[in-house]
Amino acid sequence: MKFGSICALLGLATATLAAVHERAIERKVRRNTISSRSILKRDDTDPTLLYPAYNLSVPVDHFHNDSLYEPHTNEKFNLRYWFDATYYKPGGPVIVLQSGETDGTGRLVYLQKGLLHELAVATNGIGVVLEHRYYGTSWPTANLSTESMRFLTTDQALADEAYFANNVVFEGLEKYNLTAPNTAYLGYGGSYAGAFNAFLRKLYPDVFWGTISSSGVTEAIWDYWAYFEPIREYADQECVAYTQKITHAVDNIFALNDSSTTAELKSAFGLPNVTYNNDFASVLAYGIEGWQGRNWDPAVNDPSFDLYCGNLTSEDIIYPDTEDLSDIVADLLAKGGYEDEVGNLTTPMLNWIGWLADYAVDSCSGSQDACFSTHNATYYAQDDITQDWRSWPYQYCTQWGYLQTGSGVPASQLPLVSRTIDLAYSSLICNYAFNITTPPNVTAINKYGGFNISYPRLAFIDGEVDPWRPATPHASPFNSTAVNRTSTASEPFILISGAVHHWDENGLFANETVNYPPNYLPPPPVKDTQSQEIIFVLEWMAEWQLAQLEKAWGGKSELI
């Protein structure tokens, strides 16, 4: 979920700051029983060539009694999906991976390998990737004006998935009744799609037999300053301290209201032509926000955070062309209130400057405001159907929030990002794009249970160090409202040690795994979690079979 726009939760995969375009290419596990020839063939093939796209016609408006969607419509639209029935045997489930706030094609790899694939093999099921309305090609309206986007709510999308389960006919499998409730439907999703699946199980228990919520952000939060708390807690502490102190110095310089000193600061970082202080501060946060992109799979891991921290904690000046700035940086640190620590902070700040030039500044070929500014009402006013960036901002501006601020951090601690990154700045897109100037209706989301949502056969899988953890049911160390739970087969509650954002979802082909120390792939905590998921899903399916027998015998199952 990047700075200036928000994540992807709920992405998460990258809501407000880090999640508008959340990284959605995490990989998954392939079973070792498949021959190496088959593995290599499938691994070398673009999954869009392996899995044709299908469409199901679904209602644009499922709720004609709700004034939120006036004027109502009876129209339908094409909801895109893909499936793999390679391992299907009669009696097996349909396992739906909700693609969430992204184009569904980015999730197709999960039909090849990963948890979705593993569950399909273990249960003799059908793996499905289902696109979310207003993403990819699943557009209910002809344009993306604010009025047209009124049908983009989580409730409408949940109803889409229930409608899908009740009505889909899979090509080549027409002889089977594969609709709910005749067939067991299981759901999975990560980040926003994780919360989505938690709500899906609770709202449509007669349609979905069980769901897995991975890194599910079930508590909608307007000012999500706590995004940075797991980073502050679990990241390299020397890097954290340098980031906090230099950021504090930057904020202190802004507070001087001295235009010449502010100009000197921006020039030192190679950003002299960034007009707004909060835009400048947002660029400085690029390093710290890279934490969410860390992944155990080297092929999809974002190394930016580790490179950033490696730069800041180096004892040497890494970029020779920054040495000439030493005196200027020392003066800026002194003016920013760190005169006593100039000796300790000068090299980290010089390396921050050098890293940022490499990572972002030098790649800007136009005006710096065009590259880095959020203050762009003209751009955000575009609303034709090609402006697909509008979808997730509309969701967080109207319902989800997750504005990742520095201003919300308690005064008793130093933030990791500038306090100039506040709600007013982070919500500019809401105003410019949708003329929304009020906080989102988070009650529309939190009414389902928030931190403490629970239901039989609803699993919560979260990452210990995930920046989205403070918005999940595993938030207890960061929010006293969340209650820790005991994991059971019916209601699994698993925290993956050392994991970031829905690490259980992705995986490797068998020929990519590493089964020797020290760098096991997948790492033991991930592999163990995925094994547990297969085990409890098999238990859920045993319950399903029992329920079907009870129905056949004329009894009434108490399982729901």
Catalytic machinery residues: 191, 466
**Which pair of structure tokens corresponds to residue 26?**
């995490």
Start-to-end C-alpha separation, the chain: 34
> Helix 326-333 crosses helix 259-268 at what angle (to 10 degrees)?
130
Distance CA 441, CA 342 (A): 46
The continuous run of DSSP H or E covering 282 comes out as helix 277-284
- Encode burial over 258-297: b for 16+ CB neighbours within 10 A, e otherwise: eeebbebbbebbbbeebebbbbbbbbbbbbbbbbbbbbbb
User: Both tokens of residue 528?
Assistant: 């163990």
- Residue reference for tokens 């609770």: 202
Q: In what order do the strands lie in the sheet with 94-98?
A: 54-59, 76-84, 126-130, 94-98, 185-190, 210-214, 458-463, 493-496
Tokens of 257: 């209201």
Cβ 109 vs Cβ 27: under 8 Å: yes
Question: Quick one: DSSP state of residue 362?
Answer: G
Return phi, psi of residue 400, to 5°: -100, -35
**Which run of H or E residues covers position 155?**
helix 154-167
Q: Tokens 């030192």 belong to which residue?
A: 268
